[in-house]
Structure 1
């Protein structure tokens, strides 16, 4: 096999994520439409078992709205809705319990059967049911008595962690007891959010049909989610838990391999909501030289940046900051002191695939913070094509003669770069 073999390439690209996801806790919500599609459910469960075998700790929350509605119709019963919530009379609870039990048995059977993907297992994974969540009545809201429709009162965190650490896959149940022994119908999505928050899980993965997914940017942070929560009925609940869960992934339930592509490729295939900074800005090291060169080479060839040889970059690496996402350098910038008061910003670059996400602004702020820490008061930069962006961020055009004398002597009049300056640390 050559180095271009697609399997080898894919495995090498996935390997950092395989290691990074090990022992991470992940709550997965499966929409009822996915559960109703036997092939899609089988394929999704095969991928979930693969994640389990790779060391992820999974909790399953399974939507049953379609199945419950169909079972009620077969019995000649109908439950009213108030908004998105179903009113659950006492006579409907045994029907829901039957639906929940059948689906749980189906998933347990699929997990136990030997299929090509699950041949990696040494022991069949155990999907376990339990009183993982304690319910309380939803009560009367706006004049509507929800009867046996409940909401989450408590998550049994210690029980869940014990099961996860024992290699089990806990499955949340639709019919859930209260402290008084009454049974309630709990919404699976609400349970998924509550459990992910209580466990402070590393991930909450939501698998929905494409037409039910909210329209959002490919990546956004928790603060941006707060601003967008009015756009979709599920977003307020996600906004509530976004501070407790490190990553929320919204995926098309019927896209083949969506789970694996989302978790084991750098950019994924769904929408990612992250509670913390998704990228890291740090001091560059000698090990980053190759990544910096790969980033700036296309810009050098286009004449946007001045060409730098590896040896020169290695010698000057202490001047560089890099932006890193999942081990991959997606931005860089250098700060070269010119005298005791001023410095030049150079080699400022962001990978085109990541522009428009505020990375350049964050990098500029980091450079300015470094300048302040060095006691510098003025920044200069030379550019031939990106002057508008820097002007938007506080730089003003000056003459080449305004550069410190040490930099004037090196100015390339043939390149005719425009010179910009910005006061910092005032």
Structure 2
């Protein structure tokens, strides 16, 4: 696909709010050894360098499982696991140190590259690593001695922050060191999780084989809350992702507000996830005591109470209780402690592949908390699931908010024919459209 000069300008302009939002924030990025062997990994490094140049504080945590397996096989050593955890004897530890050191050198070399005509030209990135992870042994479990396999005991927060404050990227390996001078083999998921929590990171971002978290039906789950992940831990379908899911769960439970998963195979997935409205992977947020769900007949009273002030001010078209009861299945809402605080409806025009977004309302006491954006995202997902390409909205007062969400103004002629026949010329509503 050829991107025109105008398209490039639009991309830069549309990314500006995200650039401003991410500047000065701390992100922990986690990728396994499989990502490092992927042909696209050099592009990921280029994108990481761009984040660094935009003022994002970056901690990279790499794994090395396939590289360790290769070295164990070359030395013809016995590979031993218990409860899915590698038992690291002295000989295997040498393979771990060799593999982790090799991967670290590879990542550092890529981040140092600055050839002319390359995305890294002129970047001058400093990469810092070292004894920033203090570890302790797992010990003996079920009568099995894990020897030099360990867990994170402490993250050197001050040391990492010193490097980040200097503008450096911090690189952490899946190894830790003890006060007794021992070296321990760690899981990179454990290192990334403990680092994100200790640093009070703004985001934990995981690279994996898939585009994000995939449903059992094969659909990318773009937006999830923490509660949705707990059942996945026990699902055989998610067995290969269990460690990543647990890392996300532990991070969110400890106060990290957002986690993302993106593909290490898709070029530009990291930038698309962070700098575009729709993203490229999965965004997982903390469990909220505000529930976003489809409306039920029992919600009619709450919706009527919510929209009544807006109807009285002429912002919304008046709806009777009977009308709302008949159309309740079209509504989504956000409920807080039993009270409806936001709602919106989607009326599909299937033959035109368009849907009308209507009755968008947020309680006056709960505005400014991105609830409108949350419910709009839910409507967009519904529209896509129904095979619609666009949603449109008619508004007399809130045009600016819809424009901020990416809607563009259109003429009446672009509306579905059935909707044009119902247009109220006395209200003189403006019409806006958004691709879903």
TM-based fold match above 0.5: yes
Aligned to 1:297: none
Deviations 1:133-157 (A, max 9, x none): 1111111122221111001111111
Give TM-score scaled by structure 1 length: 0.65
- After superposition, residues 112-261 of structure 1 pair within 5 angstroms as 112-115=112-115, 116-121=118-123, 124-210=124-210, 215=215, 217-231=221-235, 232=238, 233-234=242-243, 235-243=245-253, 244-261=255-272
Question: What secondary structure sits across from 2:135 in the alignment?
Answer: strand
Separation in 2 of the partners of 1:345 and 1:365?
Answer: 18
- After superposition, residues 6-405 of structure 1 pair within 5 angstroms as 6-37=7-38, 39-115=39-115, 116-121=118-123, 124-210=124-210, 215=215, 217-231=221-235, 232=238, 233-234=242-243, 235-243=245-253, 244-275=255-286, 335-336=309-310, 346=316, 360-362=333-335, 365-366=340-341, 370=363
Separation in 2 of the partners of 1:9 and 1:333?
Answer: 36
Q: Is the 8 A contact 1:205 1:250 kept in 2?
A: yes
Separation in 1 of the partners of 2:56 and 2:121?
Answer: 17
Q: Is the 8 A contact 1:209 1:252 kept in 2?
A: yes
Question: What secondary structure sits across from 1:193 in the alignment?
Answer: helix
Q: Is the 8 A contact 2:47 2:271 kept in 1?
A: yes
Question: What secondary structure sits across from 2:147 in the alignment?
Answer: coil
Question: What secondary structure sits across from 1:180 in the alignment?
Answer: coil
Separation in 1 of the partners of 2:196 and 2:281?
Answer: 19
Q: Which has the larger radius of gyration?
A: 1
Q: Is the 8 A contact 2:88 2:185 kept in 1?
A: yes
Gaps of 5+ in 2: 293-305, 319-328, 343-360, 367-420, 423-436
Separation in 1 of the partners of 2:265 and 2:58?
Answer: 20
Q: Is the 8 A contact 2:213 2:221 kept in 1?
A: no
Residue 27 of structure 1, CA deviation: 0.6
- Figure out how many residues of one structure are paired with residues of the other and give that number: 309
Please give the root-mean-square deviation of Cα atoms over the aligned residues, in Å.
Answer: 3.5
Residue 334 of structure 1, CA deviation: 6.9
Aligned to 1:393: none
Question: What secondary structure sits across from 2:152 in the alignment?
Answer: strand
Gaps of 5+ in 1: 282-331, 349-355, 374-413, 416-426
Aligned to 2:6: 5
Deviations 1:66-122 (A, max 9, x none): 00000111111122112321110012222211221121111111111114212252x
Separation in 1 of the partners of 2:22 and 2:317?
Answer: 34
